[in-house]
Amino acid sequence: MRRKYRRLIWKGCLSIGVLIVIGAVILTIETLNNKETTIAIKEENTDLILSADPLSTEGYKKIDIKITPGKVIMEENCTAIAVSTTLEKTTSIEEGVNKKVNFRPNQHDVIQDILESYNIKLLFVKITSLRPDLFRAYLLLEQGNKIVNLDVKPSDALAIAARLRTDVYIESSLFDVLGEKVC
């Protein structure tokens, strides 16, 4: 009897979580009216200037994603950055890269389904940094003539981009400073 109630509670929580994600994606789609605006964000004595044109990849390098045990490798030509994340996120990114589909979907599979169901296209992912130990990523989403630039965790952005076969870009200066030669 208890198991039945636990399953019902779990399904209810999962349904609420999915609805929240759907609502967040749908409600945040908005038209970028003024591409001339530069937004300055002050965070812990660090100034982050977001480009006036979020669709521009100037100053970014296109990277490939590879997985090794416990690490995600962002690579361009013979330079790479290895980053650590949780086992769950690393596994999810690996499943996306290898086109593996599990019996039960995880949150990145659900987001892929939502985007595809509502004809929302992931244009590309941009990865930047606030500090050497803190990365930030943005999903550039398009639906019709509406574009939104969503701030997400880099591991989530990589997992979603891997599933949707979308390009990933990293800030060139970040890659030049943190990248290591691998060939």
Q: What's the rounded mean pLDDT across residues 91-117?
A: 91
Q: Please write the tens of the pLDDT for every residue from 143-181.
A: 999 999 999 999 999 999 999 999 999 999 888 888 898
Task: Please state, in angstroms and as integers, the Cα–Cα distance from residue 24 to each residue in 28, 79, 145, following that order.
Answer: 6, 36, 19
d(CA 149, CA 28): 9
CATH number, domain containing residue 17: 3.10.690.10
Q: What is the pTM of this model?
A: 0.71
Two tokens, residue 55: 């669709």
What confidence score (pLDDT) does residue 120 get? 95
Number of structural domains, the chain? 1
What residues contact residue 74 under an 8 Å CB cut-off, 6+ apart?
Answer: 63, 64, 65, 80, 81, 82, 83, 127, 168, 170, 175
Domain range enclosing 163: 2-181
